[in-house]
Amino acid sequence: MNLFGKWRGHSASRPGSGQNARATIGAPPRWSMPGLGLFKGLVVTARNMMQSYYRKDRMTTVQYPEERVTISPNFRNFPFLCYDGDDPVAGLRCTACSICEKECPPQCIYIVLDRDENGKSLKRPKLFDIDISVCMNCGICAEVCPFDSIYMDGQYEMSTTDRFGGLLLGLDRLAKSADYHLKLRPLEASEVAARRKAEEAKKLAAQAAKEAKAKTDKEAKAKAAAETQTAATGKGETA
């Protein structure tokens, strides 16, 4: 409903009808009652004011912290490390390969590899620190991780009164279970879980096949050895 529709004059010719289709938008006619434009503006604001009392889309304020906006599951704010099972140390998927540390644009990740007494890598991080004050929430670390280990969390209420230590999150605060990932992003987590399960199954199958092959090889070898043995003894007997 528009009382003032005739002013808008989108009286352009059909689209693609050739050169210079004209639209006399925005221009009041040669003589206009001064104040009518102002009056239109007043009507718009009055309408908005009245509608703000009963229309949801005209009063979009969400009174935080009593009400919260349901954020999209795809929202990314800060990384977290995923672990399988219950043990955040043993089940941690991260192998401290430091690819995320290298790719991070503002270089906010600090990883120290855990080594045993002989200096051999234990394929897990001893130290994994991310600095909130530096992280720019780009998600590149999650994109490049080859071990499905680091993902972007949706938690945004991370403010703290401790300006330095509180803003450096270590393994204890970063490690979150795979169930958490499933609750946060069901689609992505279930996809990852399915893929990992398939890979695991493939690995197991390959392992089983290898073992079976080794077993059959051993049996064949044993059989062949037994046959040569009997042939040799058979030859010895006839001779």
Partner 1 sequence: MSLLAMSTAESSLWSPEWLPRLPQRLVEMLLRNCHAPDWLVTLAGYAVAAGTVVAVFLTAFALLSLIERKTLARIQNRLGPNRAGWFGILQPVADGIKMLTKEDIVPAKAEWFLHLMAPILIVVPSMLALGVIPYGREWVPVSLDLGLLFFFAVGTLTEVAVFMAGWASGSKFPMLGAMRAISQMVSYELPLIISALGVIMVTGSLSLPAIVEHQGTYHLGFIPAWNVFTPWGLTATLVFFIASIAEANRCPFDLPEGESEIVAGHMTEYSGFKYALFFMGEYLGLFAISGLFITLFLGGWQAPLPGLTFVPSWLWFFAKLVAVIFTHLWIRGTFPRVRMDQLMRFAWLCMIPMALLTIPAAGIWVFTGGGLKGWLVIMPLLLIPWLILTTIHNRRLAPQTRTYTFADS
Partner 2 sequence: MISDLSRFSPSAAPALDDDQLLHVSLGPQHPSTHGVFRMNVALDGETVVSLKPVFGYLHRNHEKIAENATYLSSMPYTDRLDYICPLSNNWAYAQAVEKLAGIEVPERAEYMRVILAELTRLINHTAFAGFILGDMGAWGSALMYAFRERELILDLFEDLTGARMMANFMRFGGCRNDLPAGWAGKVSALVDGYGPFLDEMEDLLIGNEILLSRTRDVGALTKEVLINGGITGPMLRAAGVNYDIRKVEPYGIYQRFDFRIPLGETGDCYDRIMIRFLEMRESIKILRQALDQLPDGPFVHPKAKIRNFKPPVGEAYARIEGPKGELGFHLISDGSANPYRYRVRPPSFINLTLLEDMCLGLDLADVVVILGSIDIVLGEVDR
Query: From the list 6, 18, 30, 38, which residue makes contact with partner 2 (rule: CB under 8 A)?
Result: 38
Mention every residue, 6+ apart, whose C-beta is less than 8 A from residue 10: 23, 25
Q: Residue 156 binds what, of partner 2, partner 1, none (CB under 5 to 8 Å, by partner type)?
A: none
Residues composing the chain: 239
Q: Residue 197 binds what, of partner 2, partner 1, none (CB under 5 to 8 Å, by partner type)?
A: none
Q: Sign of the C-alpha dihedral, residues 51, 56, 57, 59?
A: positive
Query: Does position 143 bind partner 2 by CB under 8 A?
Result: yes
Q: Residue 139 binds what, of partner 2, partner 1, none (CB under 5 to 8 Å, by partner type)?
A: partner 2
Query: From the list 11, 42, 155, 203, which residue makes contact with partner 1 (rule: CB under 8 A)?
Result: 42
**Burial environment of residue 224 by CB neighbours within 10 A (0 to 12, 13 to 18, 19 or more):** exposed
> Minimum distance between the CB of residue 103 and partner 2, rounded to whole angstroms?
7
DSSP state of 126: E
> Minimum distance between the CB of residue 201 and partner 2, rounded to whole angstroms?
25
Contact of 12 with 22, CB cutoff 8 Å: yes
Site string for partner 1, 2-31 (x = CB under 8 A): ----------x---x-xxxxxxxxxxxxxx
